[in-house]
Amino acid sequence: MSEEICDSVYSSLARAFVHTSTFSENSLAMRAGLATLEVLERENLGWRSIDAGEYLQVRLSETLGSYEMVKEVRGLGLLMGIEFQLPRQLRLRIPCKAFGAVHAWTNCGHASFPQLRFFDSGMGNNFMVLKIAPPLLVNNMQMDAFVRAVNDVVELANSPGPFWSGALGLARRAFRS
């Protein structure tokens, strides 16, 4: 900016503070932030996230490891993803590639499974990765239920029937929109 504009806006120290930040002098927001940090520390939620994430990652890896479509379960703490890969079997590879091609054009999400909503943060622009982000207070019983639900969905996807016809139908509808 020009010196003239700068001098008119920041002509004194008091005026400079008014214009330096959208969030300056917001004591309520600062207090809320400090309270959040206090709870995170007091409840050991950072360490809890690491322990719970290890539990969930092991359970998912053990449960999904036999499916050729599952490439990897990875993450840190409770932020993780299940990466899928194209299956070798032609009867699964063709509908998976077709859905991938339609998905790229429509940017539509994945089919919605109510049993996954608690954990699933959506797949964004890569339908081959299921992002997982449960709350910090998730318990083992909830994580086990999620693992069973993911296994049920992957089992459906591991056969050429209704899962793929439903996914392609969803993609076609999104493409027409």
In a domain, 11, yes or no: no
In a domain, 170, yes or no: yes
The pLDDT tens digits for 76-131 are: 999 999 988 888 887 777 777 776 666 554 444 444 444 454 455 555 566 678 88
CA distances from 61 to 58, 72, 154 (A): 5, 8, 13
In a domain, 25, yes or no: no
In a domain, 16, yes or no: no
SS3 110: coil
The crossing angle, in degrees rounded to 10, of helices 140-157 and 45-64 is: 30
In a domain, 52, yes or no: yes
The pLDDT tens digits for 137-165 are: 899 999 999 999 999 888 887 877 776 66
pTM, to two decimals: 0.68
Domain hosting 113: range is 45-176
Number of domains in the chain: 1
What distance in Å separates the CA atoms of residue 8 and residue 18, rounded to the nearest whole number? 13
In a domain, 36, yes or no: no
Structure tokens at 58: 């092991």
pLDDT at 53 exceeding the cut of 90: yes
